[in-house]
């Protein structure tokens, strides 16, 4: 290779140092996550922050934009403007998880399979808790609430969803609660949408099938109350496999967290 054929060396790019706005956003982010800046409170006004942090006004506003993009603050504009702190919440995490599944065209059967793997673990963990009897009492109450609306398909679905959400919340292990709770939130949106459509089309499962769901919930609750983790997990797995067939049928649309106009079907709140 001759000298003329040697490709030119790429120009060295200067090493990038954190910008002032990013450094400020990092400090404010840490204060939000550690609770020093409380959820729902307003950040101090610009003059106060500029006095506390020696930065320019544009850098301060860019830091706000960074945190707003991350969903950690909400910037209100206009006469009653201000910057409100929005600490991370399960609802907002579930919404972003749902957006990812929606964007990938995830089949409902795929979502159902993940739920089948993880929710029985929550039932097992709930049964292993020292206060498993108290957990069972709460689940029994939720199942009783579902029984009261058994004649109303969509209302029954909503009450059944709350039973499953209550069971996931009772798992005890915080990481499991968060991860499965996000999955459960995405599933709940799909199930509620299915219930409304099935009711409108007069294809919602008959009342005897709804009573079968109540019996399955009752058996799971009793296993948890008895502290039988293996049985609780087994019953939950069998219940999910039977009940998810309606929502995750062969002709079910993929996971959808936005409606046809692009508006969220999940509100991102707790």
Q: State the pLDDT confidence band at 10, using cuts at 50, 70 and 90.
A: low
Q: Give the E-state strand segments of 69-157 in sequence order.
A: 73-76, 82-85
Distances from the Cα of 236 to the Cα of 39, 46, 113, 209, 221, angstroms: 35, 53, 13, 16, 10
Q: Quick one: pLDDT at residue 79?
A: 66
Contact status, residue 268 vs residue 99, Cβ threshold 8 Å:
no
Give 184-221 pLDDT, tens digit per residue: 999 999 999 999 999 999 999 999 999 999 999 999 99
Q: Quick one: pLDDT at residue 34?
A: 92
Q: Quick one: pLDDT at residue 260?
A: 74
Task: Work out the percent of the chain whose per-residue pLDDT is above 90.
Answer: 74
Q: Quick one: pLDDT at residue 15?
A: 39
Q: Identify the CATH assignment for 90-247 out of 2.40.480.10, 1.10.357.10, 1.20.120.530, 1.20.120.80.
A: 1.20.120.530
Q: Quick one: pLDDT at residue 13?
A: 46
pLDDT at 116 over 80: yes
DSSP code at position 75: E
Q: Quick one: pLDDT at residue 89?
A: 83
Q: How far apart are CA 166 and CA 267, in angstroms?
A: 19
Give 11-41 pLDDT, tens digit per residue: 554 434 458 999 999 999 999 999 999 999 9
Closest by CA position to 90, among listed 189, 171, 182: 182
- Which residues pair with residue 258 across a beta bridge? 264
What's the distance, Cα to Cα, between the start and end of the chain in Å?
A: 65
Q: Quick one: pLDDT at residue 16?
A: 43
Q: Quick one: pLDDT at residue 32?
A: 92
Closest by CA position to 167, among listed 159, 158, 177: 177
Sign of the CA dihedral with 244 first, then 209, 189, and 193 last: positive
The fold of the 20-85 domain, in CATH, is Arc Repressor Mutant, subunit A (1.10.10)
Give 48-91 pLDDT, tens digit per residue: 999 999 899 999 999 999 999 888 998 887 667 788 999 888 88
- 135-173 burial: b if 16+ Cβ within 10 Å, else e: bbebbbebbebbbebbeebbbbbbbbbebbbbbbbbbbe
Domain coordinates in residue numbering, the chain? 20-85, 90-247
pLDDT at 270 over 70: no
Q: How far apart are CA 47 and CA 180, in angstroms?
A: 43
- Which residues, other chains included, contact 160 with Cβ-Cβ below 8 Å and sequence gap of 6+? 146, 213, 217
Higher local confidence (pLDDT), 236 or 75? 236
Q: State the pLDDT confidence band at 2, using cuts at 50, 70 and 90.
A: low
Distances from the Cα of 22 to the Cα of 38, 67, 74, 266, angstroms: 21, 10, 17, 30
- Which residues, other chains included, contact 26 with Cβ-Cβ below 8 Å and sequence gap of 6+? 18
């Amino acid at each position: 290779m001759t000298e003329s054929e040697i490709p030119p060396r790429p120009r060295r790019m200067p090493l990038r140092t954190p910008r002032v706005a990013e450094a400020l956003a990092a400090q404010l982010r840490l204060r939000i996550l550690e609770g020093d800046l409380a959820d729902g409170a307003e950040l101090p006004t610009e003059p106060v922050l500029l006095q506390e942090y020696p930065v320019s006004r544009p850098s301060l506003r860019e830091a706000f934009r960074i945190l707003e993009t991350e969903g950690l603050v909400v910037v209100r504009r206009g006469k009653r403007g201000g910057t409100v702190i929005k600490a991370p919440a399960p609802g907002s995490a579930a919404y972003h998880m749902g957006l990812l599944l929606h964007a990938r065209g995830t089949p409902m059967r795929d979502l159902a399979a993940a739920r089948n793997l993880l929710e029985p673990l929550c039932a097992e963990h709930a049964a292993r808790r020292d206060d498993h009897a108290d957990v069972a009492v709460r689940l029994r109450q939720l199942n009783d609430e579902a029984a009261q609306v058994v004649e109303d398909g969509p209302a029954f679905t909503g009450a059944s969803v709350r039973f499953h959400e209550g069971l996931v919340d009772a798992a005890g292990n915080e990481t499991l609660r968060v991860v499965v709770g996000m999955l459960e939130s995405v599933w709940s949106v799909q199930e509620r949408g299915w219930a409304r459509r099935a009711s409108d089309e007069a294809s919602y499962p008959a009342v005897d099938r709804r009573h079968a769901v109540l019996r399955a919930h009752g058996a799971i609750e009793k296993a948890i109350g008895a502290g039988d983790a293996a049985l609780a997990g087994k019953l939950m797995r069998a219940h999910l496999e039977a009940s998810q067939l309606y929502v995750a049928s062969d002709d079910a649309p993929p996971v959808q967290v936005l409606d046809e106009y692009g508006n969220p079907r999940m509100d991102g709140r707790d």
